[in-house]
Chains A and B, each alone.
Chain A
Amino acid sequence: MTLSDEKGDVPAHAERSAGAVLRARGIRKSFRMGDRRLEILHGIDVDLLPGELVALVGASGAGKSTLLHVLGLLDRPTEGEVEVHGRSAWGLANPDRAAIRNKDIGFVFQFYHLLPELTALENVLLPAMIAESRRSFRKMRKDYTERATGMLERFDMTKRLKHRPPALSGGERQRVAMARALLLNPRILLADEPTGNLDSATGERVLDLLFEEQRLRGLSMILVTHDDRIAKRCDRILHMEDGLVLADSAITIPD
């Protein structure tokens, strides 16, 4: 994982990017605000290796969420390229890109973003419903339901399967959102301040679960956070400021 680094070690860079599950090059993103053009990202390179857990830290307005959305194929960069498993995502047709978002990338948002009309279990099943046609979903419904129920049970949600989001606490909602993100076994997980809306005890518990899943599944994960303590639990930390990645530091985990 690196920044746009003029004096970067080219061979090392090439080596890293060769095995990356998610690779972004020269990402620029700007918005038009009236007559002005507001540039949020100023050319960022990112490589995410298999099983790597990366923290993305920076002040508000540094462009963390925008970068995450670009990496998650939700937002088209003004310039630059994003590759998922070696395929250039923005060169693909819309449905193919949607399929990558559906199967290869899991999202966990700060505000959970569950559908209020659906129960916890149905919310978790949503990616499978999107992935499958009506017929194939019917055929596999049992499998999916078992998988979703199993995950929710692991997250201590056994008694909350049939509850709708408004009846759940913040921590519970975030656990549902995590189960939803993991249902289709994506290789990449993008988490945008997953504990930002939770009290510290609940946040801690949610985060433990998230890290545990990441480790067990060998997920490549980018975690946006303000909290240095959380960042220090990651393999690497990307510091962002004013639309640039200023520092890329590997953390040495003490024995």
Chain B
Amino acid sequence: MTRHDATLRRRRRRALLRVRIVVAGAGALALALLLVAAVLELPEGPLGLAEEAAAQLAHTGVDHAVTAVLLNYRSYDTWLEVGVLLLAVMAIFALRGGAHLENVRPAPRRDPLLTWLTRLLIPMLTLTAGYLLWLGKFAPGGAFQAGVVLGAAGAMLRLSGTPSLDRIGDVAIRILLAVGFLAFLVAAVATRLAGLDMLELPPGRAGDIILMVETLATISIATTCAVLVMAMPGAESPPAIAAKDVRKEART
């Protein structure tokens, strides 16, 4: 009797599961069809403000439309994006209890191949970052791409056990992290003091201002990426373990 009940219940549960799968599948299919229909309904030609953006490109100080949007037309958005990165690092420092990276565990082993590769790649990465930054003026590139490449160089230094940002002290790190946000802030205040709208760049000087802001933003983005890798939860060693490590190091 009870056995019969159990099989009945199991069968009912299986039927319910099948109904759920069918309902979810039908929902997903309907959504997919709706999306395909939406794509087919799109009007031909450029959408939105693309034409206007292209028409005003000569006054933006750069020759690449994406950079013009990011650092001239909508530089306020980019400012806040840099602010989000700063907030993320601040949150990590809050979790770690400070901006000092001195207590991060040194990378486990010095691999000769990795050391050699690091020596080869760090200059190339730095050069590539500078190139990408410069490229943003007239081609795909710019502060974010350059910053991440430079940040990758920092991550590489960390992986190969080479001291880098974790040895320059927390004040220096804080400054490096904040200069990108501060550059936008200075530009915003300066444009307001000059009687313009906030971050409305005068066409004559826009190119120079953009290059300066982008350079500082690159430094901050690179530091953010490198600090993210260096301050990983795994890299953090609580005081007790840190002391143990130090003693162990002294012994060997």
Partners in one complex: no
